[in-house]
Chains A and B, each alone.
Chain A
């Protein structure tokens, strides 16, 4: 059976070059980068060269890049660390309705410490209007956090415009670029952001490799306290193999991003055009053009995502869903609800994330396997029966 992996958002495969670069640091080079002896210095050199590669990927200076254990850690750190560092100025934070849980939950923690926050809505495509951000700013606003791209619906946010609004008002701006970095060009200077999160497992680096960019001169309180690693801002012995893998993946991404996008975009568009053509009552979620080059997402009416996911898996197709049943918390995707989808439709969410190895045959495989899977589940669905009855009468 043909295997077709479409779960870019969950994890991308490790690039062979990243793997190759990592291997010595899982073996013979085991020194601690903080050690003064040559074994340690060898590891330190690898970490610093990786830092330069990551900095280059987003147009930052190496001294502005801090390694973390995950995109979630980077987001937690940015939200809590920046808000707390500047709380003498004010205790209000602005965020969008479609942020990742690793931004939203730290905000809830901050609320317990006396902070307040304002949630900015999105339109039907999941886009934030920079004017709404401006309206949400208060005298005591210290931080705005809006993501670069949404992993669930693929939509790219107008980050540069939002950053400009924040800059004009002297408010810090953080963007969660975990879903976007390595897939679309990012330049922190051109965008004008103060902090940016990225994660290696979203662009063919290893899991457990991520970084936070913090603009030079910006204060941030540490999340993890202890030793003097990462310039005293993030304690804990460096995960050298992961950092080396991240650096290599960043270099590969910078070199291949354009070619990757040019190859994946037409395949993505084929899915976007063809799936709703092959099955009725299938709608695209997210923006049609302002979206990640590898991302196609849909809501399939009358059925629930997990059933689709399991049946497609039996055909060798790996996808994800934002439905209540596939999430452990059993609640519908806050992203789709914020975009105005009702609960029933949001339950039918299906996310395709193409990867470097995706070829035309994989898309054809999906297009062939999809209609019978949907047909089978709709025949079981009371909502579909109800729809047919209403349509007939």
Chain B
């Protein structure tokens, strides 16, 4: 098995799955293009996370990460919860395969987006958006040529191949900038 026992336990028996109808904050991160999407719901009482629930579209690691994050966050103060980092989550899970590390990034970020959403709502007196979306622009995606992971902020350029990349307008996949056709869907590039 590619996953640790702890990851498998959280995948098979995820804690705190679901939604909170009257949540105080909702955060969403990821998109189906990269394969993972998470939504976190929080209830806040006296500056503490009285309840945390999540929903995840993604692989076993993504589900286990969300479950672990929810467990780590529940009962913590907002400040403490903001200190939950991606590496802490991976560590608590007994490690993740290298190519699944991006999943651990999403978990903590989704929780933090929910906390941000709560704070925005308080500040704006009910005027803030119902959901705070942390749009990870292709973070966690790979270069379609060398298959090396693209780090955050470098989605338009693969260091290894030294080529510029862009999003295909037709399928949304990452393809070579200026290429005649998208290497994923074959759609001709926009002229």
Contacts and interface: CB of A to CB of B under 8 A. Distances in A.
Contacts of B38: 382
B55 A329 contact: no
Contact of B59 (A104, A121, A306): A306
Interface string A296-338: 0000001111110011001000000001111011111010011
A119 B186 contact: yes
A70 interface: no
A380 B65 CA distance: 13
A329 B184 contact: no
B39 A343 contact: no
A281 interface: no
B44 interface: no
Interface in B36-70: 36-39, 55-63
A246 interface: no
Nearest to B110: A382
A381 B60 contact: no
B184 A334 contact: yes
A324 B171 CA distance: 14
Interface residues on B, range: 35 or more
A300 to B, nearest CB: 12
Contact of A385 (B11, B19, B35, B180): B19
A323 B35 CA distance: 8
A304 B57 contact: yes
Contacts of A332: 33, 35, 173, 184
Contacts of B95: none
B171 A307 contact: no
B32 A337 contact: no
B104 interface: no
B140 A325 contact: no
Interface stretch (B72-80, B82-90, B120-128, B144-152): B144-152
Contacts of A303: 57
B108 interface: no
B132 interface: no
Interface in A349-393: 379-383, 385
Nearest to A107: B183
Given A302-B57, A329-B142, A381-B57, A324 B35 contact: yes
B34 A330 contact: yes
A344 B173 contact: no
- Among A104, A108, A344, A347, max chain B CB count under 10 A is at A347
A267 interface: no
B39 A382 contact: yes
Contacts of B62: 304, 325
B57 A329 contact: no
A314 B149 CA distance: 30
Interface in B10-40: 11-12, 14, 17-19, 28, 31-39
Contacts of A337: 171, 173, 184-185
B185 A338 contact: yes
Given A325-B62, A330-B149, A337-B171, A381 B184 contact: no
Given A304-B35, A330-B35, A330-B140, A382 B56 contact: yes
B181 A325 contact: no
A374 to B, nearest CB: 13
B102 interface: yes
- Among B141, B144, B184, max chain A CB count under 10 A is at B184
Contacts of B172: 342-343
A381 B62 CA distance: 11
Contacts of B31: 343
Nearest to B39: A382
B60 A310 contact: yes
A334 B59 contact: no
A304 B184 contact: no
- Among B17, B100, B183, max chain A CB count under 10 A is at B183
A382 to B, nearest CB: 4
B67 to A, nearest CB: 9
A120 interface: yes
A97 B185 contact: yes
Contact of B33 (A326, A340, A343): A343
- Among B11, B102, B149, B185, max chain A CB count under 10 A is at B185
Nearest to B8: A310
A343 B18 CA distance: 24
A92 to B, nearest CB: 12
Contact of A325 (B18, B58, B183): B58
5 contacts: A325-B36, A331-B142, A332-B173, A338-B186, A340-B185
Which 4 pairs, one residue from A and one from B, show the smallest C-beta to C-beta distance?
A325-B59, A324-B35, A344-B32, A306-B59
Given A118-B180, A306-B58, A342-B171, 16 more contacts: A306-B60, A324-B35, A325-B61, A328-B147, A329-B99, A330-B141, A330-B142, A334-B183, A337-B173, A338-B184, A338-B185, A338-B186, A342-B32, A347-B32, A382-B37, A383-B57
